[in-house]
């Protein structure tokens, strides 16, 4: 287990993790919106990264077989998560059609409670069946090919998750000057609404138990 092999496994894990998570999806759209509003960013970023770390650890530990053995459980998770995402998408669409003045602020004071942000973040992460299929099953199976270096691979994937969510959450504030205009906020809410409705439909539909990434 030389340094080059360790570095190679870590970088491979980082690349795999990044390729799975960088996509326009419900979770990323939510983190982006929280980042622009500068509300509960640290909590949301920490929850997303910590959740991925737990799921990646389960996959590396070999629990992917458990996921494939319980398709009915994934279906139930998909129905619950899909319903949640659809409701959130409808609310975002309503904000886009009937924006309130308070919603145009990019400061946290008007962005809702910390508890609400935390619960929403947890629901978007853990009620999505694809997160179990991709993070636990896919990352776990790829990590298994690394043998004794599988945990190094897993750490690389965890680092990718932390780096992505931190950049997305804290980098989103750079968009604040642009989104200070009502029209820009409405466009963001339209993007969020479309993303949530699409992912909600996918999660609750028959594709909920196929390995594809719809959570990011």
Query: pLDDT digit string (tens) for 94-123?
Result: 877 876 544 445 454 444 689 999 999 999
- Residue 98 — φ and ψ, nearest 5°? -130, 70
Is the pLDDT reported for residue 14 higher than 90?
Answer: yes
SS3 2: coil
Q: Count Cα atoms within 13 angstroms, Cβ side, for 171.
A: 7
- Per the CB < 8 A criterion, the answer to whether 56 and 17 are in contact is yes
Query: Average per-residue pLDDT in the chain?
Result: 81
Please give the DSSP secondary-structure letter assigned to residue 116: H
| Cα-only R_g, the chain | 18
pLDDT (0 to 100) of residue 116: 92
Q: Would you tell me the crossing angle of helices 3-21 and 41-60 to the nearest 10 degrees? A: 120
């Amino acid at each position: 287990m030389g340094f080059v092999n360790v570095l190679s496994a870590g970088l491979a894990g980082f690349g795999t993790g990044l390729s799975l998570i960088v996509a326009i999806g419900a979770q990323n759209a939510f983190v982006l919106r929280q980042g622009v509003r500068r509300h509960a960013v640290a909590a949301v970023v920490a929850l997303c990264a910590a959740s991925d770390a737990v799921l990646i650890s389960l996959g590396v530990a070999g629990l992917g077989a458990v996921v494939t053995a319980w398709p009915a459980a994934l279906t139930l998770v998909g129905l619950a998560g899909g319903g949640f995402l659809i409701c959130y998408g409808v609310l975002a669409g309503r904000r886009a059609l009937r924006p309130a003045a308070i919603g145009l602020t990019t400061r946290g004071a008007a962005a809702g409670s910390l508890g609400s942000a935390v619960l929403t973040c947890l629901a978007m992460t853990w009620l999505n069946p694809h997160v179990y299929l991709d993070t636990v099953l896919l990352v776990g199976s790829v990590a298994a090919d690394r043998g004794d270096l599988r945990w190094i691979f897993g750490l690389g994937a965890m680092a990718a998750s932390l780096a992505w969510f931190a950049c997305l959450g804290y980098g989103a504030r750079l968009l604040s000057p642009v989104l200070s205009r009502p029209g820009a906020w409405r466009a963001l809410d339209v993007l969020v609404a479309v993303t949530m409705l699409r992912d909600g439909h996918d999660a609750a539909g028959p594709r909920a138990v196929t390995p594809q990434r719809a959570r990011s």
